[in-house]
Amino acid sequence: MAEDLRSEGGAEEGALRTGEVVKLDRGYPLVRFPDGERLRCEHATALVKGHDQRAVIGDVVAVSVPAAHDKGVIEAIAPRTREFVRKDPTERALPQVLAANFERVIVAQPVGEVNLRRLERELVLAFETGAAVTVVLTKGDLADEAATAAVREAVESLAGPATEVLVVSEADPASVEAVRRLLAPGTTTVLIGRSGVGKSSLVNMLVGTEVLEVGAVREGDGKGRHTTVSREIVAVPGAGRIVDMPGVRGLGLWDAEAGIEAAFPDVESLAEECRFRDCTHQGEPGCAVCAAVAAGALPRTRYDSYQALCREAADVRDRREQARRLNKDKAAYSKHYRKKGAGPSRGGRRR
């Protein structure tokens, strides 16, 4: 692979350096090399053309540094161990990878304003990555003990017994310590959650200094500052690394079957008792899920979100299928015309 890259020109012999994308800097990947040097990079045309491969936070990349060029060029992206994927909010049927190569996802919500529906969705996306998942309830000082206990219980029953739920507060260093213990040295943790939930504050507390500007991101507040600070992977002293993931306002499902299964273990275990193996739990005879709802054993709200997320996942799968078929038709169409030497010119083809 490296030989191919060199023969493509631009880079001098042996000029490829391996680094890691630690931040997206105004759309350009910022790559950090093992010696600590950071370099703003662009993508080699070969990567972007055709397959539209673009490096994301956490990617390990091979970079060439052409002489008399102020940016590096990403020539190759190493296969990812893990990806955080959502549906591209601007496209009908495209995935968008937000981060790569991490071991844990922390889902953050403020303890005083937990949105369980959003949490379900965040958990589906987090579980779908295959990483370890933790829920961190922030701003613990803003809720009293009884309220915190009630919220914790609700969140724990939602997240399932395998998922740890922690409450943190700026006022309580021990609570931050508990998060630090999760970040094993040599691992990377991705922090997700709405803007304003206290993610940068948490990172700053973990690192011990102000590495991220707190309250700098204002989304949809009409006027006011619209400084979008893009977040960087930072090392937590004595622990692993953490990155506060930018730009996760919309969390559309992409591949979600496994994530839904993991996020709804209660429904999944009931489903094993359904009469039909392919039961959709929508009124089929012998459906154990519907029976549990009727008996009050499975909350209807929980059942409703499960069904809504399944529908969304099925819908995105259908659209992908349609897009694939459309592309196939298009390819067949242009092949047909190329053979005949007529039809639309290549320049006129659009995606």
Residue 274 binds which entry of ligand GDP, Zn ion, none, CB below 5-8 Å type-dependent = Zn ion
Residue 263 binds which entry of ligand GDP, Zn ion, none, CB below 5-8 Å type-dependent = none
Residue 159 near Zn ion by CB under 5 A: no
Q: Site size for Zn ion, by CB under 5 A?
A: 5
Residue 142 binds which entry of Zn ion, ligand GDP, none, CB below 5-8 Å type-dependent = ligand GDP
* CA pair distance 206, 218, nearest whole angstrom: 23
How would you classify residue 186: left for phi > 0, otherwise alpha for psi between -120 and 50, otherwise beta? left
* CA pair distance 72, 60, nearest whole angstrom: 14
Shortest reach from residue 227's CB to ligand GDP, in Å: 11
Shortest reach from residue 123's CB to Zn ion, in Å: 22
* CA pair distance 96, 288, nearest whole angstrom: 36
Residue 200 binds which entry of Zn ion, ligand GDP, none, CB below 5-8 Å type-dependent = ligand GDP
Compare residues 75 and 244 and give the one whose CB is closer to ligand GDP.
244
Answer yes or no: are the C-beta atoms of 114 and 148 closer than 8 Å: no
| Residue 182, CA atoms < 13 Å, CB-side half-sphere | 24
Compare residues 84 and 303 and give the one whose CB is closer to ligand GDP.
84
Residue 293 near Zn ion by CB under 5 A: no
Alpha-carbon Rg for the chain, nearest whole angstrom, is: 23
Binding region for ligand GDP (CB under 6 A): 138-139, 141-142, 169-170, 193, 195-201, 214-215, 217, 244
- Of 289, 310, 313, 316, the one binding Zn ion (CB under 5 A) is 289
Q: In 10 A of CB 33, how many CB atoms?
A: 14
* CA pair distance 191, 104, nearest whole angstrom: 9
Q: For residue 157, say whether it is annotated as part of any ligand binding site.
A: no
Residue 298 near Zn ion by CB under 5 A: no
Answer yes or no: are the C-beta atoms of 133 and 163 closer than 8 Å: yes
Residue 281 binds which entry of ligand GDP, Zn ion, none, CB below 5-8 Å type-dependent = Zn ion
Shortest reach from residue 291's CB to Zn ion, in Å: 8
H helix runs in 60-198, sequence order: 116-128, 145-159, 173-182
Residue 274 near Zn ion by CB under 5 A: yes
Q: For residue 138, say whether it is annotated as part of any ligand binding site.
A: yes
- Of 43, 121, 281, 302, the one binding Zn ion (CB under 5 A) is 281
* CA pair distance 246, 224, nearest whole angstrom: 19
Shortest reach from residue 270's CB to Zn ion, in Å: 8
Q: For residue 339, say whether it is annotated as part of any ligand binding site.
A: no
H helix runs in 172-299, sequence order: 173-182, 199-207, 257-263, 265-271, 288-294
How would you classify residue 198: left for phi > 0, otherwise alpha for psi between -120 and 50, otherwise beta? left
Shortest reach from residue 197's CB to ligand GDP, in Å: 4
H helix runs in 81-196, sequence order: 116-128, 145-159, 173-182
Residue 217 binds which entry of ligand GDP, Zn ion, none, CB below 5-8 Å type-dependent = ligand GDP
Residue 279 near Zn ion by CB under 5 A: yes
Closest C-alpha to 44, from 23, 66, 59: 66
Residue 279 binds which entry of ligand GDP, Zn ion, none, CB below 5-8 Å type-dependent = Zn ion
Q: Which residues make up the interface to Zn ion (CB under 5 A)?
A: 274, 279, 281, 287, 289
* Sequence ranges of the binding site: 138-141, 193-201, 274, 279, 281, 287
- Binding-site residues for Zn(2+): 274, 279, 281, 287
Known binding site for GTP: residues? 138-141, 193-201
